[in-house]
């Protein structure tokens, strides 16, 4: 689906650009509520709490048990101290270069599962059937990706292929920079949480310093930044709040269009309490930092 900007959108984007240009150019832009200090506002509504009660920071992804891990990706390592960079451009480039391989590890894992699902679908379309191992695999993935197993296997596969798909590097980089204060926030430094994701089990993460009375959430802690990226991608691919994002991506594939981070950002309105303001902010980060250049070619039904 091609996202068209109206004259009003362009005017608002221009005004927003002028207001935020200095912060973006300096690589210091975060949400107004200060991701760097670890306040609750910086991650408010990252994922609606009512639907996230079952989500946990230490969820095991279904294919981790069946695929060899990347050599270094999941080994806990200290996050680089991005605050030590005096040159802003060097700081931003270092942040992108640090995050990009981790994003691609996560996307490559998704591609592998997607390739598997496409094979199952093609097999059924050609009149074949799935053996017990393949059927069990589809069932496990349906459970993990919140796909109803009460429908036919073909319908399960169609729905899985909407959810099991990559997230463009440009979009992940922009959100990571925004949510983590370019890797300098308390949650990034102490919990490897680059996206402000919440969790709801006591001790599952860090307690926000100014959490509102009566709230019990924490900001999820991960053993590595790679696990944080994996959890973010899985949330984007499964949570009901991001159904529009997945629809835009699926329609782009169906129309053999480039899958654009700018376009998919339109589906992030519920990621923040600031709604469309947040969407425009992420899109502006992508444009100002030319993040589209990091996207791998992903179009059509190919993996």
CA–CA separation, 97 vs 84, rounded Å? 16
Ramachandran sector of residue 182 (left: φ over 0; alpha: ψ -120 to 50; beta: rest): left
CA–CA separation, 164 vs 141, rounded Å? 9
How many structural domains are present in the chain?
A: 1
* pLDDT recorded at residue 144: 97
Of the candidate ranges 210-224, 234-248, 275-289, the one whose mean pLDDT is the lowest: 210-224
Residue 212 half-sphere exposure toward CB, CA atoms < 13 A:
6
Which tens digit of pLDDT belongs to each residue from 61-120? 434 433 444 556 787 778 999 999 999 999 999 999 999 999 999 999 999 999 999 999
* pLDDT recorded at residue 29: 37
Whether the predicted pLDDT of 49 surpasses 90: no
Q: Is residue 149 part of a domain?
A: yes
Q: Is residue 59 part of a domain?
A: yes
Q: Which residue has the tokens 């782009």?
A: 252
Q: Is residue 128 part of a domain?
A: yes
Which tens digit of pLDDT belongs to each residue from 103-127? 999 999 999 999 999 999 999 999 9
* pLDDT recorded at residue 227: 96
Query: Do 267 and 247 form a contact (C-beta atoms < 8 A)?
Result: yes
Q: Is residue 299 part of a domain?
A: no
Mean pLDDT of 34-58: 35
Question: What is the percentage of the chain residues whose pLDDT exceeds 90?
Answer: 66
Question: What is the percentage of the chain residues whose pLDDT exceeds 70?
Answer: 74
* pLDDT recorded at residue 143: 97
Query: Is 37 buried (19+), middle (13-18) or exposed (0-12) by CB count in 10 A?
Result: middle
Q: Is residue 77 part of a domain?
A: yes
Q: Is residue 301 part of a domain?
A: no
* pLDDT recorded at residue 257: 78
Packing angle between helix 7-25 and helix 276-288, nearest 10 degrees? 60
Residue 100 half-sphere exposure toward CB, CA atoms < 13 A:
13
Give the domain extent around 259: 7-294
Q: Is residue 130 part of a domain?
A: yes
Whether the predicted pLDDT of 40 surpasses 60: no
Q: Is residue 300 part of a domain?
A: no
**Domain harbouring 282, CATH code:** 1.10.530.10
* pLDDT recorded at residue 71: 52
């Amino acid at each position: 689906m091609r996202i068209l900007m109206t004259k009003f959108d362009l005017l608002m984007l221009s005004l927003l650009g002028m207001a935020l240009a200095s912060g973006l150019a300096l690589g210091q832009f975060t949400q107004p509520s200060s991701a760097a200090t670890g306040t609750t506002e910086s991650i408010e509504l990252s994922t609606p709490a009512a639907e996230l009660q079952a989500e946990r920071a230490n969820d095991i992804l279904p294919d981790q048990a069946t695929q060899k891990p990347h050599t270094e990706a999941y080994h806990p390592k200290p996050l680089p101290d991005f605050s030590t960079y005096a040159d802003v451009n060097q700081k931003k480039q270092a942040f992108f270069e640090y995050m990009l391989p981790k994003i691609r590890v996560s996307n490559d894992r998704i591609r592998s599962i997607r390739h598997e699902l496409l094979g199952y679908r093609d097999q059924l379309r050609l009149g074949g059937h799935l053996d017990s191992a393949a059927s069990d695999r589809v069932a496990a993935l349906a459970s993990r990706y919140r796909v109803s197993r009460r429908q036919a296997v073909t319908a399960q596969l169609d729905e899985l292929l909407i959810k099991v798909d990559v997230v463009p590097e440009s979009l992940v980089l922009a959100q990571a920079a925004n949510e983590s204060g370019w890797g300098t926030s308390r949650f990034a430094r102490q919990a490897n949480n680059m996206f402000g994701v919440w969790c709801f089990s006591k001790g599952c993460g860090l307690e926000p310093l100014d959490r509102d009375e009566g709230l019990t959430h924490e900001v999820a802690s991960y053993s590595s930044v790679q696990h944080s990226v994996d959890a973010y991608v899985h949330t984007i691919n499964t949570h009901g709040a991001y159904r529009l994002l997945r629809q835009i991506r699926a329609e782009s594939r169906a129309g053999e269009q480039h899958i654009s981070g700018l376009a998919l950002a339109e589906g992030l309105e519920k990621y923040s309490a600031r709604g469309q303001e947040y969407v425009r902010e992420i899109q502006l980060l992508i444009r100002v930092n030319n993040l589209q250049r990091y996207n791998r070619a992903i179009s059509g039904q190919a993996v």
